[in-house]
């Protein structure tokens, strides 16, 4: 076992897969010096400039080069420094990368990964560098979506994303980069589409993703002191979605709270709520509640961030409301 920060878990996964497969290459802004979040430090020294490429400040060029490299037989991993910048290259992601396998009748696959920093996290990045945008990608057929919650998940899920033959978007929450956890020695791999039960419970199901998994865990501890047993589910991936993990938990608890950092307006939590309404209606003892970020451009001031961000206290309040039913 080794203690790794979340950012070093990214580095460990990249090194593991580059060592395993010489077709894996990296490209992005400033990545030869480690990148702005220091997730690629030392990789150019270890694997050389033929496999670690600095790019101009052009997301369109980065994504286009990654697509071409994948079509030519490489397995590129392109860093989009902040997920907000997908807005600059979204046409290529949505209309080219996501659709190539379908438009070629399966003759051309794109084994590429687009990864980068995502999320609010009360870090003061503001409305152009602090958004959670995984819900943008969830509604695009042809893209797989990964968002790890811990260093262990980061290594295993990123490895699975790199080995996948379809395009995968990996969202790394910037507020998690400094967090530490023990990661087992040896090769790590976690199949995409398998949620995990973080904590078992009998009264309510809390569903989280990325940073909200930890929020749900802290809320569950607070609820336990009030005599309420909460089960916590980490989705790990939005596409493919482990629907059975959610439905199975709801069948046991009868109550569901979905916790997402995205603005609530058309966030991924709406899809989970709809899933429960359509396929677990008879199991539900109370309406599904969503706890989400505010429907406003993300503020810079910490006091305002605290108003619109999700928190364990908001989750606890939602559960207490459900328990009245």
| Token reading at 323 | 């328990």
Q: Are strands 180-183 and 2-5 parallel, antiparallel or unpaired?
A: antiparallel
Q: Are 174 and 117 in contact (CB under 8 A)?
A: yes
Cα 178 to its chain centre, rounded Å, is: 16
Is 231 an active-site residue?
no
Q: Which of 237, 240, 239, 220 is nearest to 229 (CA)?
A: 220
Choosing from 59, 134, 217, 305, which is the catalytic residue?
59
A 10 A CB-CB count for 305 gives: 21
Is 59 an active-site residue?
yes
Residues 221 and 229: their CA atoms lie apart, in Å, by 9
| Token reading at 79 | 């860093």
Cα 100 to its chain centre, rounded Å, is: 23
Choosing from 96, 129, 224, 279, which is the catalytic residue?
129
**Angle separating helix axes 6-20 and 151-163, nearest 10 degrees:** 30
- The per-residue b/e assignment along 234-261, b for 16 or more CB within 10 angstroms, e otherwise, is bbbbbbebbbebbbbbbeebbbbbbbbb
Q: Are 209 and 235 in contact (CB under 8 A)?
A: yes
Annotated active-site positions, please?
Answer: 59, 129
């Amino acid at each position: 076992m080794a203690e790794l920060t979340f950012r070093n878990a990214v580095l460990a996964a990249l090194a593991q897969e580059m060592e395993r497969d010489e077709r894996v290459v990296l490209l992005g802004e400033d990545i030869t010096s480690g990148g702005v979040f220091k997730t690629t430090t030392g990789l150019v020294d270890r694997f050389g400039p033929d496999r670690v490429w600095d790019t101009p400040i052009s997301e369109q060029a980065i994504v286009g080069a990654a697509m071409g490299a994948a079509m030519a037989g490489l397995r590129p991993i392109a860093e989009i420094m902040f997920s907000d910048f997908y807005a600059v290259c979204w046409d290529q992601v949505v209309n080219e990368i996501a659709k190539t396998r379908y438009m070629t009748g399966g003759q051309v696959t794109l084994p590429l990964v687009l990864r980068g920093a995502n999320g609010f996290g009360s870090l003061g990045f503001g409305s152009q560098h602090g958004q959670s945008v995984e819900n943008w990608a969830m509604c695009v057929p042809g893209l797989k979506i990964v968002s790890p919650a811990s260093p262990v998940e980061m290594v295993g899920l990123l490895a699975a994303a790199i080995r996948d033959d379809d395009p995968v978007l990996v969202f790394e929450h910037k507020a998690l980069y400094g967090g530490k956890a023990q990661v087992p020695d040896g090769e790590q791999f976690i199949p995409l589409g398998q949620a995990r039960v973080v904590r078992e419970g009998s009264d309510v199901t809390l569903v989280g993703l990325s940073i909200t998994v930890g929020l749900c865990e802290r809320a569950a501890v607070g609820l336990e002191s009030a005599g309420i047993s909460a089960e916590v589910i980490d989705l790990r991936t939005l596409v493919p979605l482990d629907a059975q993990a959610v439905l199975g938990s709801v069948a046991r608890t009868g109550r569901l709270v979905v916790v997402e950092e995205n603005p609530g307006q058309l966030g991924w939590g709406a899809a989970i709520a709809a899933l429960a309404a359509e396929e677990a209606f008879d199991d539900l003892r109370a309406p599904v509640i969503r706890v989400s970020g505010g429907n406003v451009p993300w503020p810079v001031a910490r006091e305002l961030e605290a108003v619109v961000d999700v928190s364990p206290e908001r989750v606890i309040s939602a559960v207490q409301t459900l328990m009245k039913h």
